[in-house]
Chains A and B, each alone.
Chain A
Amino acid sequence: MKKEQEAYEDIPGTWVFDAQRARIGYRLNEFLYSLMKAENRKAFLADERGYLMTFAMSEEQREAVMKRNWNKLLELGGVSYALAKLAFTDGKTYQFMASQMTGMTEKEYIDMMVGGGRSPEGWRSKSEREGR
Chain B
Amino acid sequence: MAKIIAGVGTSHTPAIGAAVDNGKTGEPYWAPLFKGYEPARKWMAETRPDVVIMVYNDHVNAFDFKIIPTFGLGCAEEFRIADEGWGARPVPDVKGYPELAAHMVQSLVLDEFDMTIVNEMQVDHGLTTPMSLLFGQVQEWPCRVIPLAVNVIQYPAPTGHRCFMLGKAIRKAVESWEEDLKVVIFGTGGMSHQIQGPRAGLVNKEFDKAFLDGLSSDPQRLAQIPPLEYLRDAGAEAIELVMWLIMRGALGDKVKEVYRFYHVPASSTAVGHIILESMA
Contact = CB atoms under 8 A, between A and B. Distances in A.
Interface of A: 4, 7-8, 11-19, 22, 26, 29-30, 32-33, 35-36, 71, 74, 79-82, 84-85, 88-89, 94-95, 98, 101-103, 109, 112-114, 116-120, 123-125
A48 to B, nearest CB: 17
Interface in B6-46: 14-15, 29
B178 interface: no
A16 B231 contact: yes
Contacts, number: 138
A29 B198 contact: no
B195 A98 contact: yes
Secondary structure at the B interface, as helix, strand, loop or mixed, is loop
A81 B61 CA distance: 9
Interface stretch (B179-187, B210-218, B261-269): B261-269
B101 interface: no
B232 A71 contact: no
Nearest to A86: B85
Interface residues of B, number: 41
Nearest to A5: B155
Given A13-B197, A13-B198, A113-B268, A19 B61 contact: no
Contact of B153 (A17, A118, A124): A17
B264 A116 contact: yes
B202 A22 contact: no
A123 B202 contact: yes
Contacts of A8: 155, 228, 231
A113 B60 contact: no
A79 B59 CA distance: 10
A11 B200 CA distance: 12
Contacts of B198: 12-13, 71, 101-103
A95 B268 contact: yes
B279 to A, nearest CB: 34
A101 B196 contact: yes
Given A18-B155, A30-B65, A74-B197, 13 more contacts: A11-B236, A14-B196, A14-B199, A32-B60, A33-B60, A80-B196, A88-B85, A109-B201, A116-B205, A116-B265, A117-B268, A120-B207, A123-B199
Contact of A11 (B83, B153, B199): B199
A129 to B, nearest CB: 10
Contacts of A94: 14-15, 195, 267-268
19 contacts: A16-B155, A16-B231, A17-B153, A17-B155, A22-B154, A33-B64, A35-B85, A79-B154, A101-B197, A101-B198, A102-B199, A102-B200, A103-B198, A112-B201, A113-B265, A117-B270, A119-B203, A123-B202, A124-B233
A94 B29 CA distance: 17
